[in-house]
Amino acid sequence: MTALTHILSERIRLGGPITVADFMTEALSHPDYGYYTTREPFGTEGDFTTAPEISQMFGELIGLWAALMWQSLGAPRRLVLAEIGPGRGTLMADLLRAAGTMPPFLAALDVWLVETSPRLMARQRQTLAGREVRWCERFEDLPEGPLLLVANELFDALPIRQFEKLGGVWHERMVGLVDDAFAFVPGPETTPDLPAEVLAAADGSIAEICPLGRALAAAMGQRLGREPGMALIIDYGHPFSAVGDTLQAVKRHRFHPPLDQPGTADLTAHVDFEALASAAIPARAWGPVPQGQFLEALGIQTRAAMLAGDAGPKVAADIAGQMRRLIDPTEMGTLFKALVLAHPALPAPAGFVS
């Protein structure tokens, strides 16, 4: 039995079942045994691979997007460029290298990383050594001023509450102990804050909300309603609120039972983009558009051809394969989506149509 399994089992034995959100919080962020506290999850050696770790093209194209948006903000002399949940810092490293080809843009940047894991913060310091970058732990701690914000695969990692409809009534779905093993058990009656058509779903349906995700989107929306700027959110999920059990665990690139050995596998849930967009009012929401469409609009095909350039056939095939992973509808091209939250007076962001 792992240490965290023991801690959570004792907690449930003494205090009764805990919410899925509490279970997820402990599994991901327990100060001693949480997944993000103890491991290096990214890449082929780790448990999963994210878009910036697949190809430098991802961060470079987001750098291009940011430069275009800086122009659409009127090319301010100082721009807060921030990334929330930067993982290994790869996206920001690629973004800043691409920004180097546009010196006035690079010169305007006040670069910030928002990260809660001290371990990953140290990793980001290594990746970004030599760059002028600052760190904070909360979005609210970012300095004032025109803002461009990027969050890739952050929202899927934030804890969700789950609900189950039983006998026509919604109940919180809890994690309890059955025969000494973690198991989902019904909790108190409660109606989740979701649209009426979702709440009207059939008995047995599971619904989810992500309170931390909504609170973060609301904080972004408040700021973007009052100051010029945009937040680019890329993640996997559904464009409209819907029922479905999307809690999943991944270990060594394979699915893993979500309640098994907490802290040893990544736990995520699909992002409800409609809920994020609603929470962010008064900011205006653009999209979500499929990631493949977004990257193609920014010119990933051209960038891939440039990188392949005079390279040999092996490198060219690798680059083509990486691009396919990012944009093909059967890979990350459709499931992953890009949403922009923007100051309401700004025109359509690059990659989005009005």
List residues binding ligand SAM (CB under 6 A).
Answer: 36, 42, 50, 52-53, 84-87, 91, 114-117, 120, 152-154, 157
Other beta carbons within 10 Å of 22: 17
SS3 165: strand
- DSSP 3-state assignment of 21? helix
Closer residue to ligand SAM (CB): 159 or 351: 159
Which two three-digit tokens encode residue 54? 């697949």
Q: Is the Cβ–Cβ distance between 86 and 109 less than 8 Å?
A: no
- Shortest distance in whole angstroms from residue 74 CB to ligand SAM: 28
Q: Minimum distance from CB of 107 to ligand SAM (Å)?
A: 25
Q: How far apart are CA 54 and CA 69, in angstroms?
A: 24
Give the whole-angstrom CA distance, residue 117 versus residue 121: 6
Q: Indicate the SS3 state at residue 202.
A: coil
Minimum gap (Å) between residue 267 Cβ and ligand SAM: 10
Closer to ligand SAM by CB, 214 or 284: give it: 214
* Rounded least distance, CB 73 to ligand SAM, Å: 23
**Cβ-based nearer residue to ligand SAM, 85 or 349:** 85
Tell me how far, at minimum, the Cβ of 219 lies from ligand SAM, in Å. Answer: 11
Residue with tokens 């959570």: 8
13-16 long-range contacts, Cβ below 8 Å, gap at least 24? 13/177, 16/176
Q: By C-beta, is 78 or 134 nearer to ligand SAM?
A: 134
Nearest CB to ligand SAM, comparing residues 29 and 261: 29
Calpha distance 202→213 (Å, rounded): 26
Nearest-approach distance from CB 136 to ligand SAM, in angstroms: 9
> CB neighbours of 195 closer than 8 A, spacing ≥ 6?
241, 274
CA geometry: angle 120, 40, 24, nearest 5 deg = 80
Instruction: Give the single-character DSSP code of 2.
Output: -
Task: Give the nearest distance from C-beta 124 to ligand SAM in angstroms.
Answer: 8
Nearer to ligand SAM, 53 or 272 (CB): 53
Nearer to ligand SAM, 201 or 325 (CB): 325
Smallest distance from ligand SAM to CB 187, Å: 24
Indicate the residue among 152 and 241 with the shorter CB distance to ligand SAM. Answer: 152
Spatial neighbors of 243 by CB under 8 A, at least 6 apart, are 198, 201, 205, 206, 207
| Burial (0-12, 13-18, 19+ Cβ within 10 Å), 223 | buried
